[in-house]
Amino acid sequence: MALTPAAGGCGESPASSVPIQSPRPVNTEVEWDGFDPQAYVRHNYADLRSDDRELLRRTRDFFAGAKLADARCVDVGSGANLYPALTLLPFAYTIDLCEWSTSNVRWLRTQVDGYDELWDPYWQVCVEHPAYAALPDPRRRLAQVGRVCRTSVFDLPQHTWDAGTMFFVACSISADRAEAEHAVARFLRALRPGSPFAVAVMLGSAGYRVGPRFFPAVALQRAEVVAGIAAGAYDVTVHEERPRPSLRDGYLSMLLATGRTRG
Ligand SMILES: C[S@@+](CC[C@H](N)C(=O)[O-])C[C@H]1O[C@@H](n2cnc3c(N)ncnc32)[C@H](O)[C@@H]1O
């Protein structure tokens, strides 16, 4: 279902689609519309890897324990990954999937209408928890509550949602450290005070390939990510996933932080 802009507070804003020219591009210098969601999914999510399984399990258990019901939820920078949204599904009145790349927005609309079988193993992990097992038809439910919205993390309205996820976005939307910090702050501030959230980032990322294209990243360190999240949150729990050997190229580990927003 397409999102009505006013309903979730999501509006469009101008952003340039200038090809990458700078060696350390900022977000608006990256050609996000050239992001190939099929290639990204094939490379990252075609098989459920042990590191994603662990993040999914922990996020599932966190939201299941958060006493949420009929919540207005948001997933920011959804790109071509549905599992953060699946963790919100049993508790959601609506889920706004906010994404900036037009190619990813198109892909998300097809997936909200009826997602690919590839995501079934991810849902199988969810249903290991009774709160998720109680939901008989997740595909239908996502089609009912999911709303795709083209908006930038930097333009999110304040105090709009009751719960949220943002996976692999702050680290992977530019090579500018200040933008990573800003993205985390904007995400946390988009949630109402006391809202449960889950944020995942790559630590030490050197950038990533999607098909033939290269996208920039910031080599974040654990301490700075935790400090940025703690500035806008309480009851923060941090888990670091360091599979050896590494399951993906060009990063050191994956960090998951859950907690509640200060507002
Ligand atoms: C590394 S991908 C992560 C995608 C997905 N969340 C995941 O878990 O795999 C980064 C995503 O951020 C999106 N993005 C880039 N700039 C953005 C912005 N200003 N606001 C929101 N999303 C943005 C990209 O289009 C891409 O989908």
- Top mutation candidate among 13, 29, 32, 205 for ligand 1, by most atoms within 8 Å of CB: 32
Summarize the confidence of residues 6-26 as an average pLDDT. Answer: 51
The string of pLDDT tens digits covering residues 161-183 is 999 999 999 999 999 999 999 99
145: exposed, middle or buried (C-beta count within 10 Å: 0-12, 13-18, 19+)? buried
Q: How far is the CA of 13 from the centre of ligand 1 (A)?
A: 16
Summarize the confidence of residues 79-88 as an average pLDDT. Answer: 98
Summarize the confidence of residues 74-78 as an average pLDDT. Answer: 99
Contact predicate 252/203, CB 8 Å: yes
Q: 168 CB less than 6 Å from ligand 1?
A: yes
**Alpha carbon 10 to its chain's center:** 16
pLDDT at 27: 97
Residue 68's H or E segment, with its range, is none
Contact predicate 225/235, CB 8 Å: no
User: 22 vs 217, which has greater pLDDT?
Assistant: 217
Contact predicate 72/10, CB 8 Å: no
Q: 27 CB less than 6 Å from ligand 1?
A: yes
pLDDT at 249: 67
Which residue ranges make up each domain of the chain?
Answer: 27-261
Percent of the chain past pLDDT 70, that is, above it, reads 89
The answer, yes or no, to whether residue 4 has pLDDT greater than 60, is no
Question: Can you read off the two tokens belonging to residue 32?
Answer: 């996000």
Contact predicate 82/122, CB 8 Å: yes
Q: What is the DSSP string of 185-215?
A: HHHHHHBPTT-EEEEEEEES---EEETTEEE
pLDDT at 250: 73
pLDDT at 3: 28
> CA-to-CA distance for 246 and 41, rounded, in angstroms?
18
Summarize the confidence of residues 59-70 as an average pLDDT. Answer: 97
Helix/strand/coil for 102: helix
The string of pLDDT tens digits covering residues 97-110 is 999 999 999 999 99
CATH fold label, 27-261: Rossmann fold (3.40.50)
pLDDT at 245: 66
Q: 40 CB less than 6 Å from ligand 1?
A: no
pLDDT confidence bin for 251, thresholds 50/70/90: confident
The answer, yes or no, to whether residue 17 has pLDDT greater than 60, is no
pLDDT at 220: 96
pLDDT at 252: 85
134: exposed, middle or buried (C-beta count within 10 Å: 0-12, 13-18, 19+)? exposed
Q: 81 CB less than 6 Å from ligand 1?
A: yes
Fill in the amino acid letter for 228: G
Fill in the amino acid letter for 68: L
Mean pLDDT, the chain, as a whole number? Answer: 91
